[in-house]
Amino acid sequence: MPELPEVETIRRFLEKVIIGKKITGVEILSKKQFPQNPKTIIGAKVFSLSRRGKNLIINLTNKKSLLVHLKLSGQLIWAAESKKTLINGNKLPIKSTRVVISFTGGRLYFNEPRKFGWIKVIDQKNLNKELEKIGPEPFGRDFTLFYLQKILAKTVRPIKLVLLDQEKIAGIGNIYANEILFEAGISPQRQANKLSSKEIEALKKAITLILKEGLRYNGSSAADGAYIRPDASSGSYQKHFRVYQRNGKKCFKCNSTIERISLGGRGTFFCAKCQKA
């Protein structure tokens, strides 16, 4: 699923290909995925691309932005006019294509099988308000050790659920939460306010380390096939998973068996020996 490293990978890719291009048309195949009138963005050019947590922001020259959330299974695929782009051998649009945005020189396909993701048109002056509830960026200046200590001390929830809470920290989803906690040597079930200061330090380091690793490998294209890069190529961080979807397999560190439990309704993977309960 697209989390911070995946959305950032998409942002960096699109930055190279759609900046300066003009929107010439919008085809909406599922209204829920693009609820507004697309007329307001026709003729506008792409000015810049930014990201806030898992939200991708395409800034246009007419003081509007496209806010994109891929949720669990959304994809953004860039198909240049000059090039044939296939998804699993299929020509675009595919069955799950919900929106097609045409630009001078190519098309951007929004595929979303589960219909959870969406694209909204937002006035740039309202962007901050739209995103105000999202917590600090893990690579930002305001994500300090002190901040992490402060938010963890205030809650009795299992640490993994805090990592997944977008109001506390931006951009971490289920894959990276599992990997971060393995790296930090902390059980996902540990009550957040019971972590020692040493563990919080380890956790902070693990957050930046694992997210950077995800970025370096262009994100993870896991077994569900949801995330791929805008040129339809795969990321490769899934080859480096230590716990995610490795239940029943051996821990690379201690050779005991990786377990799977459900925490807050989400699949949770960990090594009971390496991660302190």
Partner DNA sequence: AGTACAGCCTGCCTGC
Partner DNA sequence: TGCAGGCAGGCTGTAC
Listed residue (215, 188, 213) closest to 199, CA to CA:
188
Task: Please report whether residue 252 would count as binding DNA according to CB under 7 A.
Answer: no
Annotation marks residue 138 as catalytic: no
Binding to DNA in span 43-72, by CB under 7 A = 53-54, 69, 71-72
> Of the listed 12, 21, 45, 266, which one is catalytic?
266
**Considering only residues 5, 93, 113, 230, which one is a binding residue for DNA as defined by CB under 7 A?**
113
Annotation marks residue 154 as catalytic: no
Which residue, 81 or 167, has its beta carbon nearer to DNA?
167
Q: Are strands 64-69 and 259-263 parallel, antiparallel or unpaired?
A: unpaired
Six-digit token string for 214: 């995800």
Binding mask 122-161 for DNA (x = CB under 7 A): -----------x--------------------xxxx---x
- Residues 224 and 62: their CA atoms lie apart, in Å, by 37
Task: Please report whether residue 97 would count as binding DNA according to CB under 7 A.
Answer: no
Residue pair 187/215 in contact (Cβ under 8 Å)? The answer is no
Six-digit token string for 35: 């609820």
> Of the listed 3, 6, 8, 112, which one is catalytic?
3
Annotation marks residue 230 as catalytic: no
> Of the listed 11, 54, 242, 246, which one is catalytic?
54
How many chain residues touch DNA (CB under 7 A)?
Answer: 27
Task: Please report whether residue 114 would count as binding DNA according to CB under 7 A.
Answer: yes
Active site residues: 2-3, 54, 266
| Binding-site ranges for DNA (CB under 7 A) | 1, 32, 53-54, 69, 71-72, 95-96, 113-116, 133, 154-157, 161, 164, 166, 173-174, 262, 265-267
